[in-house]
Structure 1
Amino acid sequence: MKVSDVMTSTVDWAGSKTSVADAARLMKKDDVGSIPICDNGKVVGMITDRDIVLNVVAAGKDYNTTLVQEIMSKNIVSVSSNQDVHEAADLMSQYQIRRLPVVDQGKLVGILAIGDLAIERIHVNEAGDALSDISRGAHQNMN
């Protein structure tokens, strides 16, 4: 099964010069914890609700004037829509991430979340293993 079979193809994104406040509003509207950051259709970063809390709120910065490019993750792991979902699950586990931008020919075409893998019965164990690895890594990083 390919990533295109389970990914979400309608994805809101923000430009790198978007304020953190506007990115947070997108997250709230979509009920998600991360937003891809794109310039000219190309994914240049990701911003999470955790990035906002730790790098803006806890740091005492103004979320209306802080731009997402100042706090976004720039080393982005992505997949193509033609990639096998097993490979995507392996990447999620290896890099301890819950969401992968789906990029074809350099352009954002969707997002693949760990939950998308769990929906497909044949991938429940794989998604569970990936989530376990992700959670284990997050727990180790807190110690």
Structure 2
Amino acid sequence: MAVNKVREIMTAAPVAVGPQTPVVDVARLMRDQSIGVVLVAEDETLRGLVTDRDLVVRVVCEGGNIEERSVAEACSEDLVSLSPDDDISRAVELMREHAVRRLPVVEDGRPVGIVSLGDLAVERDTDSALADISATEPNE
């Protein structure tokens, strides 16, 4: 049976933090849970998304005391999101159109998942190098 809906491939129950969470705590969370993205939410409303790359480019490279920086300073706030009931083709279309690798999945205004380029590769192009890499356990 073919997978057609985002809910069938998304990572459910994504890790989320509040906007005032220190970036150091977010980086440790990413390390400890072997993830590369964390949602930023306030009162269960999605406010942003931060990747490990965002932490490096928007915080570490700027210098200064990173202990004093919050995730609100590092996250992308202009988000494109999906519904869990959207077709997978919609996810592909949005990733292409907005040149992003991850999309938050939102239901009734609350973040319920994340779909990544790797998730799509595993589902749609099982013989690709990206699918092989995405299907393996992360390096610790």
TM class, shorter-length: 0.7 to 0.9
**What percentage of residue pairs aligned between the two structures are identical?**
38
How does the TM-score come out when normalised to structure 1?
0.81
Unaligned runs of 5+ in 1: 129-143
Structure 1 residue corresponding to 2:26, chosen from 23, 26, 32: 23
Cα distance in structure 2, aligned partners of 1:23 and 1:113: 19
2:93 aligned with 1:90, yes or no? yes
Whether the aligned pair in 2 keeps the contact of 1:15 and 1:37 (CA below 8 Å) is yes
- How far off is 1:63 after superposition? 2.0
Residue 11 of structure 1 pairs with residue 14 of structure 2: yes
Q: Determine the structure 2 residue equivalent to 1:109.
A: 112
**Structural mapping, 1:1-143, within 5 Å:** 1-120=4-123, 123-124=124-125
Is 1:99–1:114's contact at 8 Å kept on the other side of the alignment? yes
The 1-side partners of 2:32 and 2:44 are apart by 21
Unaligned runs of 5+ in 2: 130-140
Name the Cα RMSD after superposition: 1.7
Contact map agreement 1:37 1:45 (CA 8 A) in 2: yes
- TM-score of the aligned structures, taking structure 2 as reference length: 0.83
Q: Distance in 2 between matches of 1:22 and 1:93?
A: 31
- How big is each residue's C-alpha offset from its partner over 1:30-52, in whole Å with a ceiling of 9 and x where there is no partner? 22222110111111011122221
Aligned residues: 125
Q: Deviations over 1:4-48 (max 9, x none)?
A: 011111211111010000111111122222211011111101112
- Where does residue 131 of structure 1 map in the other structure? none
In 1, Cα distance between equivalents of 2:99 and 2:34: 21
Looking at structure 2, the residues matched to 6 and 71 of structure 1 have their Cα atoms a distance apart, in angstroms, of 27
Separation (CA, whole Å) in 2 of partners of 1:114 and 1:55: 22
